[in-house]
Amino acid sequence: MNTLYILLGVLGVVVLWLVFTFNSLVRYRNRAKEALSDIDVQLKRRFDLIPNLIETVKGYMQHEKSVLENVTKARTAVMSMGGSPLDRDQAETQLSNTLKTLFAVSENYPDLKANANFLDLQRELADTENKIQASRRFYNTMVMSLNTAVQSFPTNLIAKPFGFSEEKFFEAETSEKAPVKVKF
């Protein structure tokens, strides 16, 4: 009779371990999905701010029409792509680069630099860019937790049969890794 209780106890522990391990994998996967969704939310916020920024800048920058057109084209390209932020990463990087160009060109327009609307939009975009970077870091942290669980023994014994797989990290594009050149 004692052997039966021992076997039932061991079986109970194994079942509990399976349940807790499965639930932790689900939690990691859902957190990674949530983090990816947060990136998408911040990117949408940036898309919504760009038209307001362009309209504010248009009146001041008649001679810099190509810069405004490039920002608009980059925004349209990103929005038409669809898919996840990971799929759109290269286009998102291009959009970030065109925004940097816009702000660099705005330095030539003292009235624009002092315009309250422009300054507010510039602050909002800078804040949004910071939030996008924070969301990407959080996503990578969640992906690291999920990937570690999927790869680690004994969790990997449960992960593969139940369809849990590794996720891709969000990596910076080559142009984002290049150092910024400052000339005086």
Q: What is the average pLDDT across 67-88?
A: 78
Q: What's residue 183's pLDDT?
A: 40
The DSSP-derived string for 85-131 is TTTTHHHHHHHHHHHHHHHHHHTT-HHHHH-HHHHHHHHHHHHHHHH
74-85 in b/e burial notation, b at 16+ Cβ within 10 A? bbeebeeeeeeb
- With a cut of 70, say whether residue 184 has pLDDT above it: no
pLDDT reported for residue 28:
93
| Mean pLDDT, rounded, for 15-28 | 93
Contact in structure between 121 and 21 (CB atoms under 8 Å):
no
Average pLDDT over residues 33-37: 90
121, 53 contact by CB (below 8 A): yes
pLDDT (tens digit per residue) in 50-67: 787 777 776 666 656 677
- Determine contact, residues 138/35, Cβ cutoff 8 Å: yes
| Predicted local distance difference test score (pLDDT) of residue 164 | 92
Overall average pLDDT of the 65-80 stretch: 78
Q: What is the rounded distance in angstroms from the CA atom of residue 45 to the CA atom of residue 48?
A: 5
Q: List the one residue out of 124, 123, 126, 131 whose CA is nearest residue 39.
A: 131
Confidence tier at 48 by pLDDT (50, 70, 90): confident
Give 86-106 pLDDT, tens digit per residue.
777 788 888 888 877 777 777
pLDDT (0 to 100) of residue 84: 76
d(CA 168, CA 150): 13
Residue keyed to tokens 């190509």? 66
List domains and CATH numbers for the chain: 34-165 (1.20.1440.20)
Examine the pLDDT at 179 and tell me if it is beyond 60: no
Q: How confident is the model at residue 26 (pLDDT cuts 50, 70, 90)?
A: very high
**Digit-coded pLDDT (tens) for 120-165:** 777 888 888 888 889 999 999 999 999 999 999 999 989 989 999 9
Residue 126 CB neighbours (<10 A): 12
What confidence tier does 180 reach under pLDDT thresholds 50, 70, 90? very low
